[in-house]
């Protein structure tokens, strides 16, 4: 009984602190995109408080992260209407259909992802990583990438089995 009370108290405290506590990363319900303060500043976060990223290899047509990529960089999936937390512009929220037919949450047109190695809310271990043919950046409340490196030793870089590079003129990773 005491553990249950402590868990409910912790959830209530998190909610009062402005952290969305509903589980909606493809498990049903309304995905909530909120803000979280990290060492990189205020960035987008999923309902569980985990940092959200954009992928530079994505296009306006959708996600370029499928298969092995999606097992490391989990897409934030929508199964209902979207909800914006405090500081998040609901007009920038949307969805895009993935190759498997699921709907992925977007912000300012960028499909959103969670990094598998960000085990706790607020971690940014994927920041600036280069894998699966592009770079991964946390997303600002304005919907743009935050280009700042994590301090050394803040987490490993995931190298996929096959990487590609884009040497097209004008490409900026």
**Residue 158 falls inside a structural domain:** no
Give the pLDDT of residue 27: 37
Greater model confidence, 39 or 156 = 39
Query: What is the C-alpha separation between 55 and 7, in angstroms, rounded?
Result: 35
Q: What is the pLDDT of residues 53-62, one digit of tens each?
A: 999 999 888 9
Instruction: For the chain, give the number of residues.
Output: 173
Residue 57, helix vs strand vs coil: coil
**Residue 126 falls inside a structural domain:** yes
**Residue 13 falls inside a structural domain:** no
| Owning domain of residue 39 | 21-146
**Residue 151 falls inside a structural domain:** no
Q: What is the pLDDT of residues 90-109, one digit of tens each?
A: 999 999 999 999 999 999 99
pLDDT tops 50 at residue 44 = yes
Minimum mean pLDDT among 40-49, 73-82, 114-123, 143-152: which range? 143-152
pLDDT tops 50 at residue 152 = no
How many structural domains does the chain have? 1
pTM over 0.75: no
**Residue 125 falls inside a structural domain:** yes
């Amino acid at each position: 009984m005491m553990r249950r009370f402590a868990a409910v108290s912790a959830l209530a405290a998190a909610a009062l602190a402005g952290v969305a506590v509903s589980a909606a990363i493809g498990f049903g319900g309304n995905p909530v995109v909120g803000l979280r303060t990290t060492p990189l500043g205020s960035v987008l976060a999923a309902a569980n408080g985990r940092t959200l990223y954009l992928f530079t290899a994505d296009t306006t047509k959708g996600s370029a992260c499928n298969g092995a990529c999606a097992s490391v960089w989990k897409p934030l999936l929508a199964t209902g209407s979207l909800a914006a937390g405090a500081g998040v512009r609901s007009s920038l929220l949307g969805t895009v259909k993935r190759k498997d037919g699921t709907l992925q949450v977007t912000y300012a047109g960028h499909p959103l992802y969670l990094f598998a190695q960000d085990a706790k809310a607020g971690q940014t271990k994927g920041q600036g990583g280069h894998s699966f043919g592009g770079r991964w950046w946390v997303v600002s409340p304005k919907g743009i990438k935050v280009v700042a490196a994590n301090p050394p030793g803040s987490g490993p870089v995931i190298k996929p089995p096959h990487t590609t590079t884009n040497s097209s003129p004008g490409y900026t990773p």
